[in-house]
Structure 1
């Protein structure tokens, strides 16, 4: 008798591996999609904070008053 796996068992093993790989790809796609949504949200927040910071009206030309201990 031969120790080599039979054709049907090899085919079953390949189909099982493909099924697991398909599930893994689907899981990874979900993770990537969620990360992109999070990145987009964070980029919008950073842009909003940058705009708020720029609109605070910090006059760059006016020197700061000396500290109280002067």
Structure 2
């Protein structure tokens, strides 16, 4: 039983670097982790390689008032 069993933390920018390190540590401590990142493919790849308790989400924290690309 890990320290975070039964907890569901979310980690934004979790597909690489310090965010991914946080996801790894939380998963090792039995958390079910929501890994959120704009880099969807990388988030999926890393979530799959870590454990079944890591669920990837595509997250874009952009400004909704900015125009989008055509």
Q: Greater share of helix residues, 1 or 2?
A: 1
Q: Greater share of strand residues, 1 or 2?
A: 2
Same fold (TM over 0.5): no
Higher RCO by CA contacts (8 Å cutoff, separation 6 or greater): 2
Higher Cα Rg: structure 1 or 2?
1
| TM-score normalized by the length of structure 2 | 0.21
